[in-house]
Amino acid sequence: MTTTRDVPVDPEALRASVREKYREVATHPDGAFHFYTGRPLAARLGYPPSLVDGLPDRAVESFAGVANPFSLRPLGRGDRVVEVGSGGGFDAIVAGRLVGPDGRVVGVDMTPEMLAKSRETVRLLGLDQVEIREGIAEDLPVDDGWADVVTSNGVLNLVADKAGAFAQIFRVLRPGGRVQFADIAVGRPVPAEAVGDVDLWTDCIAGGLSVDGWRQVLGDAGFVEIEVGPAVDTFGGAPGEPNARRFDVVGHPFLASKPQ
């Protein structure tokens, strides 16, 4: 369940803004955004062509991640995976192909257009092991201890209550399970007045943490064995590059384990 915490922006206002922006990414994936999308982004982030090239356009075109959450450790056949903020379904579909028919993937998203798109794509691909559920990061619709792995890509920076989100991730993981997510890290502090600007959150700036900040929130949630992968120039050449450069924003993959 969600809890009341001190957060820098109103969570409902932020969710409404995020839904509006990512509704456009779902319905008009060829539109102009401050970030890269689709196949060019997947290539930029280092996804192997073997995982991407055979997918239909609708499975990839609304992808809007910031790094490759699968790069630090591969998923195993038969793994049970929760994808937080599954969007158009690209990472959930990649995970579904990696875990195979004996695995399970539950994607969780809150934007109706993304839910509809990803569900139809999963159906068309015949991936019976992938299920898309409606929900939010701070209240995941998944049973305690169900997952071997929780993944996410460019989503947790958009969550106001990060402590609540990581508490949920910790809850749904089995003992010894792991979280492997990709997100933005800021190299320069965002001024206090800017942290309350919802537009800067949806621009993937104000909600980002430093690398040490992400380590801190993971440790506070109970995770151990925290690893941080190489930086990715997520916004280089994109319309959002000026703001990204202003705060030294890059993408990173992160990996951490729930104690046994």
**pLDDT tens-digit series, residues 67-109:** 999 999 999 999 999 999 999 999 999 999 999 999 999 999 9
21-30, 143-152, 171-180: least confident range: 21-30
Pairwise pLDDT comparison (13 vs 49), residue with the higher score: 49
110 vs 45: CA distance, rounded Å:
24
Residue 159 maps to a domain: yes
128 — pLDDT class (breaks 50, 70, 90):
very high
In 3-state terms, what secondary structure has residue 140? coil
Mean pLDDT of 162-182: 98
For the chain, percent of residues with pLDDT exceeding 90 = 84
Report phi then psi at 196, rounded to 5: -85, 5
Residue 55 maps to a domain: yes
Cα–Cα distances (Å) from 101 to 90, 96, 148, 240, in that order, read 17, 8, 16, 39
* Structural contact between residues 165 and 84, judged by C-beta atoms closer than 8 angstroms: yes
Report phi then psi at 185, rounded to 5: -125, 135
Element (H, E) at 252: strand 249-257
What was the pLDDT predicted at 1? 38
What was the pLDDT predicted at 2? 38
Per residue in 192-202, pLDDT tens? 776 777 766 77
For the chain, percent of residues with pLDDT exceeding 70 = 95
Residue 248's region, left for phi above 0, alpha for psi from -120 to 50, else beta, is: left
What was the pLDDT predicted at 206? 75
Residue 167 maps to a domain: yes
What was the pLDDT predicted at 38? 97
190 — pLDDT class (breaks 50, 70, 90):
confident
Which residues span the domain enclosing 203? 11-257
CATH code for the domain in which residue 188 is found:
3.40.50.150
Q: What is the mean pLDDT of the chain?
A: 93
10 — pLDDT class (breaks 50, 70, 90):
confident
In 3-state terms, what secondary structure has residue 256? strand
* Structural contact between residues 164 and 3, judged by C-beta atoms closer than 8 angstroms: yes
- Determine the residue type at 123: R
176-185, 198-207, 242-251: least confident range: 198-207
Residue 2 maps to a domain: no
Structure tokens at 225: 């064995």
Residue 4 maps to a domain: no
Is pTM beyond 0.85 here? yes
Cα-Cα-Cα-Cα dihedral sign, residues 207, 210, 211, 215 = negative
Mean pLDDT of 121-145: 98
Residue 111's region, left for phi above 0, alpha for psi from -120 to 50, else beta, is: beta
Residue 78 maps to a domain: yes
Mean pLDDT of 104-121: 98
Domains contained in the chain, number: 1
Residue 1 maps to a domain: no
Residue 206 maps to a domain: yes
What was the pLDDT predicted at 3? 41
Per residue in 23-78, pLDDT tens? 999 999 999 999 999 999 999 999 999 999 999 999 999 999 999 999 999 999 99
